Structure 1
Amino acid sequence: MADPCNRCGKCCLHMRRYMLVERSIGDTQHFCHFILTKERFFARIGGEDLVRFRDSDRMKQYPDSCPFLRPGEDESFHCTIYSFRPDHCRRFFCA
């Protein structure tokens, strides 16, 4: 059984080269391609996730991170497309 996410961000801090945003419709809707699995998916961002997503300046210190990852409170990280993340991300578990 997979361990619950502890929001460490380790799984996403080096995913920029694999998670491609092919086309965006504003800040809220993104057509994406996860090139490791060739999965194409649609990501939608809203509510508090949209507020976090728009704050991209805080991620400049992590240039290789997934474009949808944002810092949370207390040195944690937050996936702004958690409900729409690709299957590969859904199957990942912390070891």
Structure 2
Amino acid sequence: MDKSCTRCGKCCLHMRRYMVIERSIGEAQHYCLFSLTKERFRARIGEDYLTAFRDKDSMNQYPEACPFLRQDQESFYCTIYSSRPEHCKKFICS
């Protein structure tokens, strides 16, 4: 069975309380805590996603979503995909 991402966003739509931005270093780098696992990591916004990340209002309809999740027409994407925490890397969509 193919477990590749379908960009449905279901994995991230209720993660805001667990994905905590503790400190920002500019607009593209953030020190974060993933509170479920206590993992601290440095999130880097992908250059292609910086404009979308700046648009905080675009996710107003999803107030519980991960702060790094954004919507593109009818699908979702992670603005820190290459630097996401280990929990996110290991997630398998079912």
**TM-score interval for Structure 1 and Structure 2 normalised by the shorter chain:** over 0.9
State the aligned residue count.
94
The ranges of structure 1 where at least 4 consecutive aligned residues each deviate by more than 6 angstroms after the TM superposition are: none
- 2:89 corresponds to: 90
The equivalent of 2:55 in structure 1 is 55
Query: Deviation per CA, 1:15-74, whole angstroms, max 9, x where unpaired?
Result: 00000000001211100000000000001113211111011111011000000000013x
TM-score, normalization: structure 1? 0.94
Identity, in percent, stands at: 66
Where do 5+ consecutive residues of structure 1 fail to align? none
The equivalent of 1:28 in structure 2 is: 28
Structure 2: any 5+ residue segments left out of the alignment? Answer: none
Q: What's the TM-score once normalised by structure 2's chain length?
A: 0.94
